[in-house]
Structure 1
Amino acid sequence: MVDRALAPAAGAEQRLREFGITLPPPPTPFGNYVEGVRIGKLLYLSGMLPVIDRKPQMIGRLGAELSVDEGQRAAEIATLSGLSAIKAELGSLDRVTAVAKLGVYIATSGDFREHPKVADGASNLLARVFGPEMLSGRVVLGVASLPLGLPVEIELLVEVAE
């Protein structure tokens, strides 16, 4: 377990600059929902997809059409969209005080077994942006299909400063 009292209060925006990470435009819904809902100190994001400007960055299933490396990249792109949605909602990623949970859903062929490696594409990006002390618990699931034929969908739950 991580003691969140030890987590840094700020610095995500600086880390973006240091690592040369550019956020895509904030995502827009593909249906009748919102990208995020804030309840108290928690911001719940809808599922984030590897889509930029409403254009899928890759299509297919891991273990069939796509490799583990491509899956990691899809998870990273989906996480970048999540970070962009958080920034649009809060004004700054420095307002995030904890990453409470990461969910990674992976469209796979039936015999695919490298789920954790694909999910690390999301976890590694979050560790770079927020610092390794802010890594969260996560759930990683393989599924038969995801919206628009995309390979990965992530969900994030973050705590924010008031």
Structure 2
Amino acid sequence: MLRIVEQNFTQDLTPEQRLEELGLELPPVSGAVGAYAPWMQVGNVIYTSGQLPWVDGDLKYTGKMGAELTVQDGYQAFLLSALNGLAQLQDALGSLNRVRRILRVEGTAHTTPDFTEQPAALDGASDLVNAVFGERGRHTRMIYSDTAMCLNCATLVVLWAEVDI
């Protein structure tokens, strides 16, 4: 189980180098599972579509937090979803170093109606973004809950990034 903690990276590391220091690599980008684009650029902002916890084309985490999954499982699932979101940003930009700032992280958690630890689970995405981008990763965020998710996935992450054009 991977837990991202406060990192003391030197300022001159690129986001890709920070990923490497964390022992992570970006996965191949996932294609859309419907009639939509995986990301869209409007002006100097890129919005990703919802990213799921894919690993090599398979959903690594399925089910509901509060039933089959724990808050720790949710943390890992959100981390993977965010990693897939970073892969989409890199696909759009060629390099994550072109990200000026992550503006927003939105997460949707697949939960039982009585589950209330969504913010702690979404920290998996926030911790990753903050570690990879440092101060440029500080973001606003929103967490949603749903008792029924597409493909029975555990999490979904949407990233908004201000970029150099």
Structure 1 distance, partners of 2:52, 2:90, is 16
Structure 2 residue aligned with 1:139: 142
Moved over 6 A (4+): none
Percent pairwise identity: 34
Counterpart of 1:92 in structure 2: which amino acid?
S
Structure 1 residue aligned with 2:122: 119
Per the normalisation by structure 2, the TM-score is 0.89
Question: Which range moves more in the overlay, 12-21 or 59-68?
Answer: 12-21
Structure 2 residue aligned with 1:11: 14
Q: Is the Cα–Cα contact under 8 Å of residues 101 and 136 in structure 2 kept in the other structure?
A: no
Report how far residue 114 of structure 1 moved.
Answer: 0.3
Counterpart of 1:59 in structure 2: which amino acid?
T
Match of 2:103 among 87, 100, 104: 100
Structure 1 residue aligned with 2:54: 51
Structure 1 distance, partners of 2:52, 2:78, is 8
Change (3 A) 1:84 1:117: same
Q: Is the Cα–Cα contact under 8 Å of residues 10 and 94 in structure 1 kept in the other structure?
A: no
Q: Is the Cα–Cα contact under 8 Å of residues 107 and 144 in structure 2 kept in the other structure?
A: yes
Q: Is the Cα–Cα contact under 8 Å of residues 27 and 52 in structure 1 kept in the other structure?
A: no
Structure 2 distance, partners of 1:109, 1:17, is 35
Spell out, residue by residue over 1:38-78, the C-alpha distance to the aligned partner (whole angstroms, 9 max, x if none): 11100010000011233111210000110011010000010
Confirm whether residue 83 of structure 1 aligns to residue 92 of structure 2.
no
Counterpart of 1:122 in structure 2: which amino acid?
A
Q: Is the Cα–Cα contact under 8 Å of residues 9 and 97 in structure 1 kept in the other structure?
A: no
Structure 1 distance, partners of 2:22, 2:57, is 25
Structure 2 residue aligned with 1:109: 112
Spell out, residue by residue over 1:116-142, the C-alpha distance to the aligned partner (whole angstroms, 9 max, x if none): 100000000001100145210100111
Structure 1 distance, partners of 2:12, 2:18, is 13
Structure 2 distance, partners of 1:10, 1:145, is 40
Q: Is the Cα–Cα contact under 8 Å of residues 102 and 136 in structure 2 kept in the other structure?
A: no
Structure 2 residue aligned with 1:36: 39
| 1:131 partner SS | helix
Per the normalisation by structure 1, the TM-score is 0.91
The two structures, once aligned, show a CA RMSD in angstroms of: 1.5
